[in-house]
Chains A and B, each alone.
Chain A
Amino acid sequence: MDESMTTLILTLLPLYPLVSFLLLISLATRLSWTVAASISVGAMVLSALSSMLVINQLSVDTPIITSQLWTWFTLSPSEEINISFYLDALSAVMIGVVTGVGLLIHIFAAAYMKEDENFTRFMAYMNLFIVAMLLLVLADNLVLLYLGWEGVGLCSFLLIGFWYQEKANVLAARKAFIVTRVGDTAMAIGLFMLFKETGLLTIADINQSANISWNVGDTQPYWIALLLLGGAVGKSAQLPLQTWLPDAMAGPTPVSALIHAATMVTAGVYLIARMHGVFLLAPEVMGYVAWVGALTLLLAGGAALVQTDIKRVLAYSTMSQIGYMMLSLGAGAFSAGVFHLMTHAFFKALLFLTAGAIILALHHQQNLYKMGGLLKRLPFEASLFTIGLVCLMALPGSSGFFSKEAIIGQLWSSETAGPTLWWCAIAGALLTSIYSCRLFFLAFLGSSRFSVPLQSSSSKLLQLSLLVLAILSVFGGLLANLLDINLAPVFAKAAIIDTSTQPDWLHTVAIATPFIGIVYAWIYYANYRVSNHKTLVESHSVLTRFCQQGLGFDCLYHYLLVKPYCLLAKFNRRDIFDQLIMLNAWYVTLCHDIFVSSQHGKLRWYAAAIGLVTLLFLLILNIDGFGSEASL
């Protein structure tokens, strides 16, 4: 294939979903399910095929494919902000995940949302999301990346609040948008600073020239990297901006799979990997990235232990897995982080979609304490879900194992991470396997705790997409070498972490940890898995409630930020400046009233007033007269 053809395919990549979005949104209610589904899924098929084609064109000789469309605006004579795409191995992984997993989720969604009266609108938003996500990962400059960044935020908002008649969904959507906007603002300031310091906003140029203009440890890259990290933690739901993700589960399940597990929430990871040139110059910030990841990993894992809603367990699990990716980036193991991003997209999409199928079969029941015994009743879904959990726990052989091992293996001897963070990662793995087992026991073992008849979906589309995802989850690990070789030139600047001096027992511990977790869960959660007809009681202890409600962060922000802002707004609703200015008007009106009230037509008062004023004048004149006499 010649070069211009490749460029053309790359250019058209985001166009198919865009056209589909426009078609669906303008024809809206007039389309039947078949037409709407085939348009939106068809667009995704085209996108997935063309991304496969362009990814194939990447090789050692052509490591980068670019395509410039037009000049967006000009910041300085030397720096033009273009609408143009930049494909290297890193963005190739991303477009592969976005279009590939995106296609499967679209197929699933077409079957899952069939009965919804706003089906067309739903598919339109999903397509629009893919457009924005593709722009985000293909952008050759940070402003276009920001466009995609905000675009996915808007789609996320629309899809979380898709069932907008419910007040709770509306509030969840608002929360997601505003909390991520806080991070976005930090990122925007980062861009301003970057432009002031370097005069550049094109990503490749920045990565190239960063270590020419700065030394390691300078203050400018420190602040820039810190601000970019602010954007990343917002989008990727890491501490301290993680509070929106659990609430975002209010959206339909395919949304949770696509946006809040596989693609959008990993945008922060992509941003840091993309801007690694700047981050490498700020080792302190790399340390912060690692610590943010580690803390999120542990706290979210802890919170996942006590959730009662199956989707919320998965949401916290997503946060904690992204914590792993952050930890890996912070340690300087960029390829491993990106690898985990990919395998996580496979198995977490699988988990969410299967959970969706289960929820549907149980007539929209999401409470784990109202499930149980599903292993026998829904064998197909249960076995796929188990595959997902095995990957999540990183049991040997699964894709999650390869990616997580790649991360954990490099932490110990990394300069910006080290043994402490290694132990954090191990503790995280332990938590992961415990909450996975708890989830498994509650949902699939034990006695059935629901009274409705099961309604298993027989849709072939639904099962097909689940099967493909399961295959990817199992065999995704085989891509490890391919990915490593191709990503190495992208992250050429990152020092290779020397793992040869590590103690030998590290590997054994890392592999054994999930099994320890399983054994612990087997014993501790025994009553969840045995079917003894006693009713299960949810724990209501203070600690459980605290963990369930997101470890107090919601509460903290509510009293620290939301409440003061609302109170300020409420107290000053009438605008203090206006009231100050209106004092003038009040004063004039007052004088007016006084003088009007003196005109009442009573002759006695007038006479008295005239007399008084005359007297006053005489007095003044006299005093004046005395004064002049005295001076004489």
Chain B
Amino acid sequence: MTITLVMCFIFVSACIAWFAEGIKENSGRYVALLSMIAISIYLVFALLLSESSVDYSQLQILTRLPWIAHFNIEYALALDYLSIILVFLTLLLAVICILVSWHEIKTKVGFYYFNLLASITGIIGVFTAIDMFLFFFFWEVMLLPMTALIAIWGHENRHFAAIKFFIFTQVSSLLMLVAIIVMSVLHFQQTGRVSFFYQDWLALDVPFKTAYYLMLGFFIAFAVKLPSVPVHSWLPDAHTQAPTAGSVLLAGVLLKTGAYGLIRFVLQLFPDASSNFAPYAAVLGVVSILYGAKMAFAQQDFKRLVAYSSISHMGFVMLALFSFNTIAYQGAILTLVAHGLSSAALFSLAGMIYKRIHSRHLPDMGGFWQHAPRMGGFALAFAAAAFGLPGLANFVAEFLSLVGTYQVYPIHTMLAALGLIGSAIYGMVLFQNSFQGSFPSTKIASFKDLSIREFFVCSLLLSLLIVIGFYPDLILNLFNHSHIAWLTDDVAGAGL
């Protein structure tokens, strides 16, 4: 029941935040912040208490209630370490989102926090639902408030970006819906009973050719979300136009739902089909890494640059996942966390700069270091995280991904490693164009250093990046060999 409680609580506080803002100005954000912190603390304790009795290295079903009994659709939630990690990442970034929106949002404040928290409810649902119909339901629930966030509180070109985001995700999830329905029909044909339950599907024996098409249906939906080249182009627009918190949430968690879907559904439901498809997916991963890095270098908009760098980083996830290798898999998981933190940090930074100079245009920037040494230090550290400086979480993640992938695809890995050069180039451009050089004093009167709230956000993210960078076993220990037995057992041929 834990997760159900968490989701209900977040949704209720979303409503309270909305109403509270109507009664008293500026109360919405306090409601949102305090409730998110309370929920996080509750979840930590709930999991710690249950950990002794439950082994989360396997999928543990928490709740299973009939929902639409006619079609055997259930309300079923489950947790394993993968979803626990991602749920915590979501909660952490939710707190960050609220903190970065503190002074940024000035219109329809109550409704804003409602949308933010509603979207988070949906995301947690996506990470925990194991009834496929329920999963699809949450998939849509997280999408709508996100579109609203972009369309109402975004920047100058927000309507276009919101529509683009919405259409991309809708069209691709339509394919997933078809695949879900076909799977339930297959289940009906084989057992005489319709089922949307994930673990029923695991036991299903799907003919290879059908499995291949179904796998593609899921794959395309998740590849759009990840995103992978060539279906990535919603992301730069959505990231650039979204308000700061929207970008943080998009880059930090929403992209991870794509990776989560690949791991949970594509790889585990269709192991043979996906290992057959793996060479193509690996190529897509490599192309994403290099193309994303090259495009990031070309951008002149701070947020757009970070957006393309996300595409590059998610390429590592795609490549690592489809190499069916334990080390690479661990690297992929760690990339999810590391990129969640580092891209959230860079987007928060973009928000802080925008607040001061009302521009995201890199040529308008320069020499900020002089006026804001603390901010400059953080900017350097976050850019360094993006280009994979050892000592920060992203390095371990990329290193493990590439070491693992090299065992299977040496040539792909060598090409992907060129992304290290590409990331250094865009990282340099990002940091040096904004914080070094001469200060454009004709255009900008003053540039204040970090406020206490901003300092807290930056130092929280940086300390997590450093801790994971030097002690990744915090996360990796949860993904030892017993947990990923499916990986080596199911597709032994493709692995080591």
A192 within 8 A of B: yes
A578–B295 CA distance with the chains assembled, in angstroms: 12
B421 within 8 A of A: yes
A196–B438 CA distance with the chains assembled, in angstroms: 47
Given known contacts A72-B470, A147-B390, A189-B414, A577 and B229 CB-to-CB distance under 8 angstroms: yes
Contact string against A for B residues 375-413, beta-carbon threshold 8 Å, 1 for contact and 0 otherwise: 001001000100001110001100110110011001001
A158–B431 CA distance with the chains assembled, in angstroms: 11
Contact string against A for B residues 211-235, beta-carbon threshold 8 Å, 1 for contact and 0 otherwise: 0000000000000000001111100
A143 within 8 A of B: yes
Contact of B389 among A154, A167, A189, A580 (CB under 8 A): A154
Q: Which residues of A contact B403 (CB under 8 A)?
A: 75, 191-192, 195
Contact string against B for A residues 52-75, beta-carbon threshold 8 Å, 1 for contact and 0 otherwise: 000000000000000000111111
A599 within 8 A of B: no
Contact B472 A73 (CB under 8 A): yes
Contact B437 A573 (CB under 8 A): no
Closest partner residue, chain A, to B298 (CB atom): A569
Q: Which residues of B contact A568 (CB under 8 A)?
A: 294
Q: Which residues of B contact A177 (CB under 8 A)?
A: 424, 428
Q: How far is the CB of A402 from chain B (nearest CB, A)?
A: 37
Given known contacts A74-B473, A188-B420, A575 and B295 CB-to-CB distance under 8 angstroms: yes
Q: Which residues of B contact A78 (CB under 8 A)?
A: none
Q: Which residues of A contact B327 (CB under 8 A)?
A: 75-76
B471 within 8 A of A: yes
Q: Which residues of A contact B377 (CB under 8 A)?
A: 25
B139 within 8 A of A: no
Closest partner residue, chain B, to A581 (CB atom): B233
B201 within 8 A of A: no
Q: How far is the CB of B212 from chain A (nearest CB, A)?
A: 25
B28 within 8 A of A: no
Contact of A174 among B367, B410, B428 (CB under 8 A): B428
Contact A192 B402 (CB under 8 A): yes
Contact B420 A74 (CB under 8 A): no
Given known contacts A73-B473, A569-B297, A569-B298, A181 and B384 CB-to-CB distance under 8 angstroms: no
Q: How many residues on the A side are at the interface (Cβ–Cβ under 8 A)?
A: 51
A448–B437 CA distance with the chains assembled, in angstroms: 35
Q: Which residues of A contact B295 (CB under 8 A)?
A: 569, 572, 575
Contact of B421 among A72, A121, A178 (CB under 8 A): A178
- Contact residues, A165-182 vs B (CB, 8 A): 165, 167, 170, 173-174, 177-178, 181-182
Contact B367 A578 (CB under 8 A): no
- Contact residues, B317-370 vs A (CB, 8 A): 327, 367, 369-370
* Best-surrounded residue of B230, B232, B403, B437 (most CB of chain A within 10 A): B403
Q: Which residues of A contact B432 (CB under 8 A)?
A: 161, 164, 170, 173-174
Contact A178 B418 (CB under 8 A): no
Q: How far is the CB of B487 from chain A (nearest CB, A)?
A: 15
Given known contacts A154-B389, A196-B410, A165 and B437 CB-to-CB distance under 8 angstroms: yes
B44 within 8 A of A: no
Contact A196 B391 (CB under 8 A): no
Closest partner residue, chain A, to B407 (CB atom): A196
Contact A146 B390 (CB under 8 A): yes
A570 within 8 A of B: yes
Contact of A184 among B233, B373, B420, B428 (CB under 8 A): B420
A193 within 8 A of B: yes
Given known contacts A73-B396, A73-B476, A192-B406, A182 and B421 CB-to-CB distance under 8 angstroms: yes
A76–B488 CA distance with the chains assembled, in angstroms: 14
Contact A178 B399 (CB under 8 A): no
* Best-surrounded residue of B395, B399, B476 (most CB of chain A within 10 A): B399
Q: How far is the CB of A531 from chain B (nearest CB, A)?
A: 42
A480 within 8 A of B: no
Contact A73 B421 (CB under 8 A): no
Q: Which residues of B contact A73 (CB under 8 A)?
A: 396, 400, 472-473, 476
**Which residues of chain B have a CB within 8 Å of any CB of chain A?**
229-233, 236, 294-295, 297-299, 327, 367, 369-370, 373, 377, 380, 384, 389-391, 395-396, 399-400, 402-403, 406-407, 410, 413-414, 417-418, 420-421, 424-425, 428, 432, 435-439, 470-473, 476
9 A-B residue pairs with Cβ-Cβ distance under 8 Å, sorted by A, are A73-B396, A147-B395, A167-B438, A181-B421, A188-B420, A196-B407, A572-B294, A572-B298, A577-B230
Closest 8 CB pairs of A and B: A578-B233, A569-B298, A147-B390, A164-B436, A192-B406, A181-B424, A577-B230, A573-B298
